Structure 1
């Protein structure tokens, strides 16, 4: 059987704009919605509209703990754990996690995994930041972290700028890991999250939900493993 569908991609990073777009989609009686939430800071009423009308909703990349809905994305806790293990293997003991300044599941879960591993390791310590001012102050200290995991690749250019201001070089002085494997950061050690496969799995689940929308609902959670791609921003610590 062939399924004809006409996806309407919409992009925004603003919570209020995103909520307004969701309302418009519901009013247009769309068959279903695949959503990458900008954060968890949503008014529940916008999603109540979706449930009340029986519209299938699939979240990708970011989860929303307040809602029981389908999800396709990465195993974020495992990403944080692997990042910490790799930095520890390179003999870094003072580690830093740089997360989001908003409530975001990818940042929260990756931080959780990162801390889990560090807490089990003797002589290792971990701090977490989301403020540029605090970062500059911390990296200026003599006991600064030497291994840094940014929850997303987008944070790395700003981090590298701050390090240059302090005459710190990557990876000679500081090892940096990102997440997302963005093409614009071709020298960055980063996690590849199988974005194409996430999209394929989400589309497949979407079509199943639309086809079987009147059947009893059972939540589906699909977490795909990410791969650490080692490049030029990580190196063993020099004593």
Structure 2
């Protein structure tokens, strides 16, 4: 069966015996077109199942009212709640949001950027994939004069707006807590250090160990994609060490959940034998057994700031774009996985 021919403005014009220009004006509610003609055009358009060509419209108007949002993964409460806040704010201002996930792939991220640029989006709000090292595709966005706002994962070299938390300070807060709970040998499972946020967390971890005169060893630090299975695999390696740590700080809750599973399978008592702290305060961290202590990243606030920064850029197109970092303070939500002493605040 052949594909049905797509209805055009010319088809509607032929039915009504008017010009395509009059149809276009009627569909765009032009004041010079009578109410009777507008109603007739709308009725015929509906009968013929007419779908407007938004890309062509965007080319004519220089504005699509579309905003692209790129995230590394959709199965994360952190990213999904950021998207929800961005959509709430931008929808209220007449924008529709196109959501794409890179799945931590640089190649997919590049294809997504090309697709969004082809669609004539008015702006792009993005968090980089773990694999991304080269910034050429992000520079392509800038070169086209399209507002680019980065959140969570971004690079200073791009000199654009960025929203995130103080990742360096996050590590200090976590290590301080674990030291207070009596930990003396703390391992870190982090993301890849070529990504700025993970580099800062690793740097904060190392400096915090030095501050408390605790040992830093290469065998206690690991880089991975921070998926659940990564947490499982790395935790097995940690438990095979001749001198096991008594605390583990993990830069992602999914990896922390995987690590917790392995420890339970090997009859490691958490937190008595090994205290555990995750990152991003995913909803499951509160209902795991034991509850997983985690760093709260204030995702809704990040989404709010990212959306409003885009709107400010659109309203002020002549404003020079420079590095503009909006940094939020992290908060450690303490739960049973790291609470070895009764002293302190326990969040269930």
TM-fit CA distance, 1:70: 1.1
Asked whether the 8 Å contact 1:34–1:60 carries over to 2, the reply is yes
**1:195 maps to 2:286:** no
**1:54 maps to 2:158:** no
Aligned pairs for 1:47-126 within 5 A: 47-101=138-192, 103-125=194-216
Q: Indicate the structure with greater helix content.
A: 2
Q: Secondary structure at 1:114's aligned position in 2? A: helix
1: CA distance, partners of 2:203 / 2:317: 35
2: CA distance, partners of 1:69 / 1:175: 38
**1:17 maps to 2:108:** yes
Partner of 2:327: 223
Higher alpha-carbon deviation: 160-169 or 56-65:
160-169
1: CA distance, partners of 2:276 / 2:205: 14
Can you list the C-alpha shifts for 1:9-30, whole angstroms capped at 9, x where unaligned? 2223122111111111112221
In the alignment, structure 1 segments of 5+ residues that lack a partner are none
1: CA distance, partners of 2:260 / 2:93: 47
Q: Secondary structure at 1:116's aligned position in 2? A: helix
TM-fit CA distance, 1:134: 5.6
**1:6 maps to 2:99:** no
Q: Which has the higher contact order (CA 8 A, sep 6+)?
A: 1
* 1:155 aligned residue (255, 259, 264): 255
TM-fit CA distance, 1:219: 2.5
Q: Secondary structure at 2:158's aligned position in 1? A: coil
1: CA distance, partners of 2:325 / 2:192: 26
Q: How high is the TM-score relative to the length of structure 2?
A: 0.63
In the alignment, structure 2 segments of 5+ residues that lack a partner are 1-91, 225-229, 342-348
Instruction: Provide the aligned C-alpha RMSD in A.
Output: 2.1
Q: Secondary structure at 1:143's aligned position in 2? A: coil
Can you list the C-alpha shifts for 1:179-209, whole angstroms capped at 9, x where unaligned? 1110012111111111001100111101001
Higher alpha-carbon deviation: 123-132 or 64-73:
123-132
Q: Secondary structure at 1:228's aligned position in 2? A: strand
Asked whether the 8 Å contact 1:40–1:64 carries over to 2, the reply is no
Give the direction of change, closer, same or farther, for the CA distance of 1:191–1:123 in structure 2 (3 Å limit). closer
TM-fit CA distance, 1:40: 5.8
**1:130 maps to 2:219:** no
Asked whether the 8 Å contact 2:252–2:278 carries over to 1, the reply is yes
Asked whether the 8 Å contact 2:185–2:246 carries over to 1, the reply is yes
**1:185 maps to 2:265:** no
Higher alpha-carbon deviation: 179-188 or 126-135:
126-135
Structure having the higher Rg: 2
2: CA distance, partners of 1:92 / 1:164: 19
Asked whether the 8 Å contact 1:26–1:49 carries over to 2, the reply is no
